[in-house]
Structure 1
């Protein structure tokens, strides 16, 4: 039985005072659950604050990105070992905004996936298609290629200690959401790609949906057999909404 996982991606949002208020509200709404894991991925600068405030809460935290390099003259980068120093359990890799806005390709994403695992961080590998790719019928093949690009570098066994997040790019920040049937189709496809290489890994792999997940659509999405939780954007900045999504995952 796969344990559900809900991850809040705060993106480049927040302030010191706002984070304090949000964390207090979240701790009031959420308690540790045997049926679902919950994690927060704030901007780097808030990781010390998050790690201190959530230390005794049962909630976990991670980063939105990381460097593929261990250390060196890489101004502005943050390494996996630095993230581990602040108690991170997770790191997002290959988010569509990193791919589209900052030019990260499959090779970069695979290198970051490996770097995360080298520091005992669990990578949350994001894959997904654009509206053009979906309309042209290429969505499933595109997602498969993004998965295989990481398998070719990290190996299929590495997915036993990873999470995959399917994020249809056309549904991120647009208010649009893939129907539960559309999401399930791609989640089942991802599991099938992994199963063709290692059935045991596929059975245990958690696959999250990430595309405008909200309190009012979470239960319907999570009812599908291959949707194991969510990577939540805007709704994770509203404590009551994020808590409702987490409860739906339980």
Structure 2
């Protein structure tokens, strides 16, 4: 069976994701309970597990209502356990589990926060990245360093290019506008920005894309590319130095 993935818009611009596999139904992040309950009820599903990516309130504030309603298990990064709702299992990279297409690899991807995790479902060719790798962007460095985030993005970039990336926010329109300031001549980026504008005009989500498209268009993943280094006036700089410059520019965009 395929992993059935449901995208659930929450709050003003967050996404939660429900994933149903052979071993049950899990939720990646819980920004708010109401829309998630509605999505589950419409399908007649219960909830077995919540996987938390990081401690920020807009990713966890629905946890307790969902736990009370479904009796589900809550798992999240051990490195942030003291900042999270009570965990039934504190996760570290290498603590893989699940059956069939539900088989899950927690990945340590610090930068946005120090303990941020992504959840990779390799047999389903999906990765849930929240605020690490984002559609045409990456999360702000609230706790980590440019070196941390570059290492995390490099880890995610090394996944198979056909992997679908499910990120945590609908920031794609503004991310596309910024990306075009870095690579205005990138034809793949120009086409993507046009497609994003059309999709958002219809109210369609745009934060769920193949990794291959991110590799071709996301300036944060492309910091090591000679064209990008030249574009920011740093042809001889290290990849992480260029990444840091791009992140600085985005923070002030």
Q: TM-score range by the shorter chain?
A: 0.3 to 0.5
TM-score, normalisation: structure 1: 0.32
Q: Which has the greater radius of gyration?
A: 2
TM-score, normalisation: structure 2: 0.32
Per residue, is there more helix in 1 or in 2? Answer: 1
The structure showing larger relative contact order (alpha-carbon pairs under 8 Å, at least 6 residues apart) is 1
Per residue, is there more strand in 1 or in 2? Answer: 2
